[in-house]
C-alpha cells in the first residue's frame, strides 16, 4: 500500500490505478479505524477495482469546545489494518496540505445542515462538505463510500455532489453494529465499561420506536417513549430523537416513506448518534 502525503504524487498514483479503465473507490475517514470502517473498505473493493482510503482529522468540522486535539490518532495501526484489507493507497495529508495558508473558501449545503446534529454543532457540516469536496478533487475517485451511521452527513454529501456536479457515485454503507446493537464509532473508545454496557439502551430504544411507528403508533408518542427509555437506560441527555424524510431530512409529524429515525444522545462526556430506517 502506498502512503501519500502530497497532491501531485496522489494525482499520478490515482491516474496509474485508473489506467486501462480500472475504477477507484474512495473511503474518506478521520482514522482511528474500527471494524465499521473496514467494512467500508471491503465494500470499496467489491464495487471498484481499487480501494483508496483517506485519513485526515479535519479541524474545520470540530467546534471550539469539541475533541479535535483529543481525537484518537494512530496512523501506524490504521495503516497496518488497511494493508490487511488490501487497500491500494492511503491518502494522509497534513493540515498544511489540506488548508494551505490563506485558505478561505468553504461550502455550505443550505438548510440540510441546520437541524439535528447541525443545531448542536454550528458549522460542523460546512467543514464536512468542504473537506469532502476537496477530497473528491484531490483523489478524483469514481465512487465514494460513506457509512449510513451519520445519515445527515450522507444526505448532505449526496446533495453537495449533485448540486456541484461531482462525477462521483456516492454509496451509503449499512451501519456496522456490536452484538448488543451499539453502532460502531471511534467515539465508543471514550466510554467507560459501565457506560459501554448502558449504551446498548440507545439502539434498543430506537428499534422499538421504529417498529412502533411502522406499525401505526403515533409519531410523537413513540419519539417521547424512545427519549424516556434512553434516559432510563443511563444516558445523561437526549439531543434529539426525530422522524425525518430520509432524503430531504424534513421533520415528519406523521409517518410516510422513505422515513428515517435520527437520534443523538450524550452519556457522560460522549455524544453518540444513531439512525434507523422506518419501514
Residue among 34, 37, 103, 124 flagged as catalytic:
37
Asked if omega into 258 is within 30° of 0 (cis), the reply is yes
Q: State the minimum distance, in angstroms, from the CB of residue 202 to ligand PAF.
A: 19
C-beta closer to ligand PAF: residue 99 or 255: 99
Does the active-site annotation cover 37?
A: yes
Answer for the pair 252, 244: CB distance below 8 angstroms, yes or no.
Answer: yes
162 CB-contact burial (10 Å; exposed 0-12 / middle 13-18 / buried 19+): exposed
Q: State the minimum distance, in angstroms, from the CB of residue 101 to ligand PAF.
A: 21
Question: Can you count the helices (H) and strands (E) in the chain?
Answer: 10, 9
C-beta closer to ligand PAF: residue 135 or 259: 135
C-beta closer to ligand PAF: residue 160 or 263: 160
- The CA angle 17-6-28, to the nearest 5 degrees, is 65
Integer Cα distance of 262 and 251 in angstroms: 10
Left (φ > 0), alpha (ψ -120 to 50) or beta: where does 116 sit? left
Max Cα distance, the chain (Å): 57
Residues that bind ligand PAF (CB under 6 A): 28-30, 58, 61, 128, 131-132, 150, 153
Answer for the pair 199, 183: CB distance below 8 angstroms, yes or no.
Answer: no
C-beta closer to ligand PAF: residue 54 or 195: 54
C-beta closer to ligand PAF: residue 122 or 218: 122
Integer Cα distance of 185 and 195 in angstroms: 14
Q: State the minimum distance, in angstroms, from the CB of residue 61 to ligand PAF.
A: 6
Q: State the minimum distance, in angstroms, from the CB of residue 127 to ligand PAF.
A: 8
Q: State the minimum distance, in angstroms, from the CB of residue 21 to ligand PAF.
A: 27
Active site residues: 37
Amino acid at each position: 500500500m502506498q502512503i501519500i502525503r502530497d497532491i501531485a504524487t496522489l494525482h499520478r498514483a490515482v491516474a496509474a490505478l485508473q489506467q486501462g479503465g480500472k475504477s477507484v473507490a474512495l473511503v474518506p475517514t478521520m482514522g482511528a479505524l474500527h471494524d465499521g470502517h473496514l467494512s467500508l473498505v471491503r465494500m470499496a473493493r467489491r464495487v471498484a477495482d481499487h480501494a483508496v482510503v483517506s485519513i485526515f482529522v479535519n479541524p474545520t468540522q470540530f467546534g471550539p469546545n469539541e475533541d479535535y486535539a483529543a481525537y484518537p490518532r494512530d496512523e501506524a495501526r490504521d495503516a497496518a489494518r488497511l494493508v490487511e484489507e488490501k487497500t491500494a493507497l492511503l491518502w494522509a495529508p497534513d493540515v498544511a496540505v489540506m488548508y494551505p495558508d490563506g485558505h478561505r473558501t468553504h461550502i455550505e449545503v443550505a438548510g440540510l445542515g441546520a437541524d439535528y446534529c447541525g443545531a448542536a454543532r454550528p458549522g460542523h457540516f460546512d467543514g464536512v462538505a468542504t473537506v469532502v469536496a476537496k477530497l473528491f478533487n484531490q483523489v478524483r475517485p469514481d465512487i465514494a463510500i460513506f457509512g449510513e451511521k451519520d445519515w445527515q452527513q450522507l444526505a448532505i454529501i449526496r446533495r453537495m455532489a449533485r448540486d456541484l456536479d461531482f462525477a462521483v457515485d456516492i454509496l451509503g454503507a449499512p451501519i456496522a453494529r456490536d452484538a448488543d446493537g451499539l453502532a460502531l464509532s471511534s467515539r465508543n473508545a471514550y466510554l467507560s465499561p459501565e457506560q459501554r454496557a448502558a449504551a446498548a439502551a440507545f439502539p434498543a430504544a430506537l428499534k422499538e420506536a421504529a417498529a412502533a411507528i411502522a406499525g401505526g403508533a403515533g409519531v410523537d408518542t413513540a419519539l417521547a417513549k424512545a427519549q424516556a427509555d434512553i434516559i432510563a437506560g443511563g444516558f445523561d441527555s437526549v439531543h434529539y430523537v426525530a422522524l425525518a424524510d430520509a432524503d430531504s431530512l424534513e421533520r415528519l409529524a406523521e409517518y410516510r416513506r422513505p422515513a428515517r429515525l435520527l437520534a443523538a444522545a450524550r452519556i457522560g462526556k460522549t455524544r453518540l448518534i444513531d439512525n434507523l430506517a422506518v419501514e
